[in-house]
Amino acid sequence: MKAHTPIAHLLKGNLLRLIEVVIEQDADILGKLYANTPQHIKLNNEVGIDWVRRNFNNFPTVVEPNLSL
């Protein structure tokens, strides 16, 4: 955002801070709402993430990846 007047410079700083606060609050709320929600849809590239999550939960036992999901 280009600011050409002194008032615009003040608004620019406040606007960016306001946007930062809104994004932080939204991310916090979404993290609280959906943190423990079971995943219903799996994409092909998420099979690896599931394997890592299972290994993390079952540490020190290593679980083989299930590539058929």
Residue closest to 24 by CA, chosen among 13, 32, 34? 32
Q: What are the tens digits of pLDDT across the range 18-64?
A: 889 999 999 888 888 776 766 666 666 666 777 777 778 888 777 66
pTM for this model (two decimals): 0.41
- Whole-number Cα distances in Å, 2 to 5, 12, 23, 67: 10, 9, 22, 50
Domain ranges of the chain: 1-37, 38-69
